Amino acid sequence: MKPGKVYLIGSGPGDVELMTLKAVRLLGEADVVLLDDLVNREVLRFVAPDAEIVDVGKRGGCKSTPQVSIHEQMLKHAQAGRIVARLKGGDPFVFGRGGEEMQCLVAAGVAVEVVSGVTAGVAVPAVLGIPLTHRDCARSVTFVTGHTRNDEPTDWRGLAGTGGTLVIYMGIANLSRIVAELLAAGLSPMLPAAVIQHGTLPQQRSVVTTLGELPAALPAHGIGSPAIVIIGEVVGIAGYVSKNPAICEVQL
């Protein structure tokens, strides 16, 4: 029996055209595709007709596939000699549990290769013309999750002191608390901020406002998860706003 292999593949932020050529090629070679919930289903057109497609989605507040079950399925198929495409939204190593899955596979002696994808924290702000770094006002950028396992605390005071751009993944449910902690840490309530939901997709919606107004702006404009939050001076120098008619914008 030929040896199996698992590819941990990032599908990008949503727009199919932002997938890498390598990701497209490997999807066509896979015997089985383990598919995350946030992956745009349009990518399935690149999968071989006889490949098995299994949904193993995870999303906060919804019924999710346990991580241990995903590990078991990867091992089962690979050890049976199959080529497995573990397809994730964004990049598998940026808040995608790709590191955990790689450790599981390596420990079991299963061949694994990581195929990077464009992470939402980079691609989505660009849709609104928001540069994450800028020589005049942002010399660093920090990617941070707004949702931690067992509600482990995040050092928002320390992050507020970096002086750079903050890009928050999975932060909508805890946004009011996060904003309160950042304000308490000394950030100005007038600091520009934005939230972009369904970034790079036709249903994209966004709010551009200030840090102090951010929690109230989201429900007022129907913005929810999945979304990326960007906080920093760079939001105020955004080059343009998408012409998508579904977009919502609050002027600074």
pLDDT in tens, 198-247: 999 999 999 999 999 999 999 988 899 999 999 999 999 875 444 443 44
- Confidence (pLDDT) at 63: 66
| Stated pTM of the model | 0.89
N-term to C-term CA, the chain? 62
Strands of the sheet containing 205-210, edge to edge, are: 141-145, 165-169, 227-231, 192-197, 205-210
Task: Answer whether residue 82 is part of any domain.
Answer: yes
d(CA 120, CA 30) in angstroms, rounded, equals 25
Instruction: Please check whether residues 110 and 133 belong to one and the same domain.
Output: no
Instruction: Please check whether residues 157 and 206 belong to one and the same domain.
Output: yes
Instruction: Please check whether residues 210 and 127 belong to one and the same domain.
Output: yes
Closest CA to 107 of 250, 212, 6: 6
- Confidence (pLDDT) at 60: 55
Task: List the chain residues with pLDDT less than 70.
Answer: 1, 58-63, 239-252
Tell me how many domains the chain contains. 2
- Confidence (pLDDT) at 250: 42
Query: Do 85 and 33 touch, CB atoms closer than 8 A?
Result: yes
The residue annotated as part of the active site, out of 19, 74, 102, 170, is 170
User: In the annotation, is 50 catalytic?
Assistant: no
- Confidence (pLDDT) at 221: 87
The residue annotated as part of the active site, out of 15, 19, 31, 36, is 36
Domain region containing 48: 5-115
Domain boundary among 115, 143, 160: 115
Domain boundary among 85, 115, 145: 115
Closest CA to 47 of 66, 19, 69, 75: 19
Task: Answer whether residue 247 is part of any domain.
Answer: no
